[in-house]
Structure 1
């Protein structure tokens, strides 16, 4: 089976676009307010950075949940398909075992019992 490259998924496109916009806005804010930011105490500067980096981190957490939900839905579909195939195989094995047992019985050979 040849694997084909998958197209980018909408949550990733949304996340990357929003992240670039957010950090572009941050760069603009830093350019306009550098004189006030440069004089911040270390603890205030840390609060400033936490305030700017927390929203993208939370946004990517939401995107991760979105992607996992899609993956789980795909896994459920695949499991349903596998279950249908397994049931079909089980029916086929039962019919083959029935035919085999009746043909052995008619021919006088000992019967073989396959229990499911």
Structure 2
């Protein structure tokens, strides 16, 4: 939106009026000066009043004629400048309003772009989350029977096999998390173990870890849905086995990073 330039009202008319009045005044003064005195023939001055004036008289005459003109010019100048200042103030006020509207428009556009960016990012994170969950589900279904903890008290499946292969992610993962909780006590009693197919265990943990990290970056509705998958329970169960097998030392950094992240999230919730 562009502000309209405000011109002083009547500046040209005031100037023209001043010139006209000044010319009339000078004309009247000249006429009065010519007719005010009768030429004195005795002094040899017979060609008119002005020819009889001395230098001092000419100065007095011109001062008397042009002093009012100068004063009137000063008044008109101040009058015009006052109008110009008033016009400038009005223009500044209009400019301020335009800048205010532009700032509001820019703020609204920024909010729209920010919301679009946030929605795009949330949608992208949701896609990545679902991809990780699908990989987690597929790998755990395939390798669960082969990930076995060998302890002094026997061998135990870390992830029990789930016979129903038609379960969706929303139903399969909570069952997997609950089932893994049932096997933990027997494994933990040994205080040490040796995992068969430890690489698959590591991969499953990383899928779950990366998926859980994305939950906080998704929309509120998607977060609520993601929380029903019980990834936190599954990861916590797996983390209890990490200290028991040296093959899993590579995950210690993940465990510490997750602990710090959960503490930050808890502090943020308490702050609210």
What TM-score results when the alignment is normalised by the length of structure 1? 0.75
Find the aligned partners of 1:8 and 1:69 in 2 and give their Cα distance: 10
Aligned to 1:86: 99
Shift of 1:103: 1.3
Q: Deviations over 1:15-37 (max 9, x none)?
A: 13321220121121132136354
SS of corresponding position for 2:53: coil
- Higher mean alpha-carbon deviation, 27-36 vs 17-26, is at 27-36
Shift of 1:13: 4.0
Aligned to 2:119: 106
- Higher mean alpha-carbon deviation, 51-60 vs 14-23, is at 14-23
Aligned to 1:112: none
Shift of 1:8: 7.1
- Higher mean alpha-carbon deviation, 96-105 vs 33-42, is at 33-42
State the aligned residue count: 104
Shift of 1:38: 3.0
Q: Which runs of 5+ in 2 are unaligned?
A: 1-8, 40-48, 125-272
Shift of 1:75: 1.4
Q: Higher helix proportion, which one?
A: 1
Aligned to 1:97: 110
Q: Higher strand proportion, which one?
A: 2
RMSD: 2.4
- The structure, 1 or 2, with the larger RCO (C-alpha pairs under 8 Å, 6+ apart) is 1
Aligned to 1:3: none
SS of corresponding position for 1:63: helix
Find the aligned partners of 2:11 and 2:92 in 1 and give their Cα distance: 24
Find the aligned partners of 1:37 and 1:28 in 2 and give their Cα distance: 11
Shift of 1:86: 0.7
Q: Deviations over 1:57-99 (max 9, x none)?
A: 1101101111111111111111111111110000010111111
Aligned to 2:73: 60
Distance 1:71 1:84, change over 3 A: same
Aligned to 1:27: 30
What TM-score results when the alignment is normalised by the length of structure 2? 0.35
Which runs of 4 or more aligned residues in structure 1 lie more than 6 Å from their structure 2 counterparts after TM superposition? none
